[in-house]
Structure 1
Amino acid sequence: MLHKWYMFGWSYRDLFRHIPAAFIPDDHDVYHGNVWGEGGKSAPTDQGWGAIAQDQGGYKMPSEWVNVVQMAQTSHLPDPVDPTPVEQGIEVYFTRWDYAGVSFAILEDRKFKSAPANVLPKDAQVLNGWIQNPEFDVREYRDIPEASLLGERQMRFLDNWASDWSGPSYMKVVLSQTNFASVHTIPEDAMSGAVLPGLPVPEPGDYVFGDKIAADMDSNGWPQDRRDEVLTLLQSCSAFHIAETSISPLWYATE
């Protein structure tokens, strides 16, 4: 793990030498394709290491190793606003950083998130966060009371941060691992994003016809009601959002 972190630093050191930067780990950093942390629980790997483990929620790697990854990649950040560890003693790093007139809320949007296979009906046939039953309409399950996105602790932090203009900051920015929407597309007959690496790359200016919006529950477009609660807080303080996964330009609206 550390050699990859060193390579990252060597590659971009000339940039970071002069520009303050904030880094946060994502799913691949903890050796997951996707991760639904479910409050830090252990993901069972006795039946396999891939999607079958990930879909049960939690972390596949030992908690000590997860903490090493987080320490390597987040120790430069301000102290967490609530340092209480989650399950297995996994540390948290969600925090606030005020710099040059900008107040940043740095979130952990994987660690507390529910695994869709654990809160949706079994007939959804979830595989790696994708519904495999073509007859199942996830829009009918918009409000799942037991589903979590950021978790109660982060929502309290975000609520307080959004309303706090007591410092010198004149602008608010949220940093997270993925955006609070799923706007990417897949072919109409596809049931997951697994087909994407084999698709031809469109030429500049070409428009891809016949695709559908991807119901990708690895994105923070799901769970929808929890997502809407987050967007309401972001809207209340006109926060700008920066995320690094499922990269697409977005404009959020809650009405």
Structure 2
Amino acid sequence: MRVEIWSDIACPWCYIGKARFEKGLAGFAHRDEVEVVHRSFELDPGHSKDDTVQVVDMLARKYGRTHDEVRAMEANVAANARAEGLGYLTEGRDHGNTFDIHRLLHLAKARGRQDELLNRAYRANFAEERSVYDTEVLVELAVEAGLDADEARAVLADPEAYADEVRADERAASELGADAVPFFVLDRRYGISGGQPAEVFAQALEQAWKDRPLTAIGGDAEACGADGSCEVPQGGGNGNGS
């Protein structure tokens, strides 16, 4: 069975949702027969590659909130992340264009190191003070994931390297009706939107294994939209991030 996951490194619910999915997968009897493929989805494709801003400043402008309100929003997301055993910095993180990161993830996929690079990129972006929008940081992460530094640097220097693969993933997301991430598709039969609880993923894996038609599972959950916005809690929610 194949599970395809559309996500963006800038999406906190993708970071959290990946951890929750993996918990659901860990208890699945047929987990060794599941192929997981990570696919590209840019939340903010129009963002200039040369314009990197602080997440708190970006969210305050986007939602018309004060910095204190944004910090409270980020604290809610951090609580969700930490409940899954993930680190999360509420301040000091960068926000920018993620196209190069997606291109590098396709190189990692071709070399069988995609999950390793994605994990390191998420951790660098959300839990460490390492900007994933810096070329040298990306090369460092690639090496940590088992890729060759010169090959990673060459891909990042060539704007067309793996660009078609990124765009193909994004077209596929559009064709499937995915307008928010994370978005999980199981054998092109079941679709799951948002960072659902681990139990929802476990249920979906069981149902997909029985070869049922495509069904939306779990109702609404926190996600980041195609316009680059993430859901803003209206009080008592799980929080929000970039």
Q: Which has the higher helix share?
A: 2
Where relative contact order (Cα < 8 A, 6+ residues apart) is larger, the structure is 2
Q: Could you say which structure has the larger radius of gyration?
A: 1
TM-score clears 0.5:
no
Bin the TM-score by the shorter chain: under 0.3
TM-score (norm 2): 0.24
